[in-house]
């Protein structure tokens, strides 16, 4: 009897743990460069509990050409360190926005409002979870005129997290850069002598994450994020019925 009770308890805990964690849902992006306000459609697979949007901007100076982003008509919050402006060498700016509660369901329009005519691209990621989601770590420290294989370490703090990056590179073609091991290339956009892209991490886990990409020494600017279900969120209840 005791052995059966222990087995039932372990199953209960494992199922709750799996159902209570954040999980990658879907990715969508623009299909070409935009020079004014622009939109794209994001179609979730499940019921989204969080959204991250990156907007990548090719500039000719240190500029912030994005004034706001909405997802399904709901305003998103720009993350700490955004916009990250690369104002020397080959100029570029990375923007990142987050929404972790009251996320609209179904296909949603991602709308970006702008204040200049610089070329821009955007991409969005949705997440599923049992509750709202939040940012666990944001790193906007990578901003260099000449960096080989740029990377940063994101701290999971023991949380179950998802990771992603939006980046700008002075590399002159996407063929010259690549994701790190266990990362997926979601989009790479070649804009003359520059490349802009979004990569996502393949593993949902509680370990710290090395975020970046491979390239020869060149301009490198990146905003990297970790997303988790809100701390202390109650997992779904499971009923264990024991018949003696």
Average pLDDT over residues 64-72: 96
Residue 11 has pLDDT above 70, yes or no: no
Give the pLDDT score at 20. 64
- DSSP string across the chain: -HHHHHHHHHHHHHHHHHHTS-EEEEEEE-SS-BSSSEEEEE--SS--SEEEEEEEEE-SSS---EEEEEETTEEPEEPTT-SEEE-SSS-EEEEEEEE-SSPPPSSEEEEEEESS---EEEEEEEEE-SS-EEEEEEEEEEEEEEESS-EEEE--TT--BEEEEEEEE--SSGGG-EEPTTEEEEEEEEETTEEEEEEEES--BSS-EEEEEE-SSEEEEEEEEEEEEPTTPPPPP-------
pLDDT tens per residue, range 29-43? 998 899 999 999 999
pLDDT digits (tens, 9 = 90+) for 122-148: 999 999 999 999 999 999 999 999 999
pTM: 0.87
Average pLDDT over residues 77-82: 98
């Amino acid at each position: 009897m005791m052995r059966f009770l222990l087995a039932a308890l372990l199953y209960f805990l494992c199922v709750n743990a799996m159902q209570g964690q954040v999980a990658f849902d879907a990715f969508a992006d623009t299909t070409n460069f935009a020079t004014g306000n622009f939109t794209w459609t994001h179609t979730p697979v499940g019921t989204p509990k969080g959204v991250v949007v990156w907007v990548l901007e090719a500039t000719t100076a240190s500029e912030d050409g994005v004034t706001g982003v909405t997802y399904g008509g709901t305003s998103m919050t720009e993350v700490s360190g955004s916009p990250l402006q690369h104002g020397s060498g080959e100029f570029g700016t990375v923007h990142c926005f987050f929404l972790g509660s009251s996320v609209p369901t179904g296909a949603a329009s991602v709308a970006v409002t702008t204040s200049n005519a610089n070329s821009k691209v955007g991409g969005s990621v949705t997440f599923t979870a049992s509750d709202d989601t939040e940012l666990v770590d944001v790193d906007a420290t990578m901003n260099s005129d000449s960096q080989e294989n740029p990377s940063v370490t994101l701290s999971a703090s023991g949380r179950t997290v998802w990771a992603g990056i939006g980046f700008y590179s002075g590399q002159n073609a996407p063929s010259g850069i690549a994701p790190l091991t266990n990362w997926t290339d979601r989009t790479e956009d070649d804009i003359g002598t520059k490349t802009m892209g979004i990569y996502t991490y393949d593993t949902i886990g509680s370990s710290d994450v090395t975020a970046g990409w491979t390239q020869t020494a060149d301009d490198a600017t990146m905003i990297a994020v970790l997303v988790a279900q809100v701390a202390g969120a109650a997992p779904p209840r499971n009923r264990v019925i024991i018949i003696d």
